[in-house]
Copies of this chain bind each other. A is one copy, B any other.
Amino acid sequence: MKVRVTEVGPRDGLQNESRILATETKVRFVDALSEAGYEEIEVSAFVSPERVPQLQDAEEVFQRIQRRGSTLYSALVPNERGLERALRAKVGKIAVFTAASETFNRKNVNASIAESIERFRPVVSAALEDSIPVRGYVSTAFWCPYEGKIAPERVVEVARELLELGVDEISIGDTIGKAVPSEVMALLDRLLDHVDQDRITMHFHDTYGTAIANVLTSYERGIASFDSSAGGVGGCPFAPGAAGNVATEDLIWALTRTGALLKPDLDRVRAASDLLASALGRPLRSRVREALSGAPSGAKEA
């Protein structure tokens, strides 16, 4: 089965790193990722520079990256002001963002889930009028740091509301990385009754080491689109509940070995991660990266 990979390192990853990278470094990172042949790279977010200083140079990054025709370059957009900036920057796709947990959404964007969906209505309409595809994120889809376990029904409800707005794709996020495969199956069992599996992307974080198990369980249930970040960037490895996305290297390795067909080239993703590790000045969190780091350049798994 073909699997689509959306690289979210430049946005979800870097947004959660304490060290702010130079614009030049981000551009080189995105260009290195482009070389790997992704279907989609989430490049940045058009959000308030005060709230997310890590991504305050979104316009400049979009202006300077080398775009490949076969890759969609997307950005997070929280409101109409953000959409205007994104359209001027000629993004290929936008993403809007809500949660399945009311408390998390209120702490994150100071609005109820219903309010944030209303806020997106004109954003999604305007994007679709411009033929810009739209992703809708549903974060804390399994566990919320404030509310605990989130009922699958709640996720289904939020996903359906986003689809009614017109979004093309729903990204279901295990924001704090606490889901296990049995919970992934329970959620997908409900969700697939209401949402076409081609519209679902799974977005796992690897806080407790279950991300690859969750990816493979989703794949077995027919899900063929995943988010990941090169080197598992994002979050702090020493802060509970805040580890990075599942590493793209680990995702490619495990899915390929399971028989899936993926576009991004593992060695080129590793090269992009090398650049990132130097810039961040710390080791990255990818088992495959560690395992292959002693191997000769270009060595591939049989």
- Which of A's residues lie within 8 Å of B, judged by CB? 148, 177-178, 180-182, 206-210, 212-213, 216-217, 237-241, 243, 247, 250, 253-254, 257-259, 286-288, 290-295, 299, 301-302
| A123 CB to nearest B CB, Å | 34
Q: How far is the CA of A209 from the CA of B258 in the complex (A)?
A: 13
B253 touches A209 (CB 8 A): yes
| A97 CB to nearest B CB, Å | 24
B216 touches A181 (CB 8 A): yes
B302 touches A238 (CB 8 A): no
| A193 CB to nearest B CB, Å | 22
CB-nearest residue of chain B to A241 = B291
If A240-B292, A241-B291 touch, does A250 touch B209 (CB 8 Å cutoff)?
yes
| A248 CB to nearest B CB, Å | 12
CB-nearest residue of chain B to A246 = B209
7 nearest CB pairs, A to B = A209-B287, A213-B213, A209-B250, A180-B257, A240-B295, A240-B294, A207-B291
| A144 CB to nearest B CB, Å | 11
Tell me what chain A mostly uses at the interface: helix, strand, loop, or mixed: loop
Q: How far is the CA of A107 from the CA of B247 in the complex (A)?
A: 34
If A180-B216, A208-B253, A208-B287 touch, does A293 touch B258 (CB 8 Å cutoff)?
no
Q: How far is the CA of A299 from the CA of B209 in the complex (A)?
A: 18
If A238-B294, A294-B240 touch, does A288 touch B209 (CB 8 Å cutoff)?
yes
B181 touches A237 (CB 8 A): no
A254 touches B208 (CB 8 A): yes
The residue from B148, B177, B182 contacting A258, defined by CB atoms under 8 A apart: B182
If A208-B254, A209-B212, A213-B254 touch, does A240 touch B181 (CB 8 Å cutoff)?
no
Q: How far is the CA of A212 from the CA of B208 in the complex (A)?
A: 10
Q: How far is the CA of A169 from the CA of B54 in the complex (A)?
A: 54
| A220 CB to nearest B CB, Å | 8
Q: How far is the CA of A68 from the CA of B274 in the complex (A)?
A: 48
B237 touches A290 (CB 8 A): yes
A208 touches B291 (CB 8 A): yes
The residue from B239, B254, B286, B302 contacting A294, defined by CB atoms under 8 A apart: B239
List of B residues within 8 angstroms of A295 by Cβ: 240
A210 touches B212 (CB 8 A): yes
| A182 CB to nearest B CB, Å | 5
| A255 CB to nearest B CB, Å | 9
List of B residues within 8 angstroms of A239 by Cβ: 294
A180 touches B254 (CB 8 A): yes
List of B residues within 8 angstroms of A238 by Cβ: 290, 293-294
List of B residues within 8 angstroms of A148 by Cβ: 302
CB-nearest residue of chain B to A286 = B209
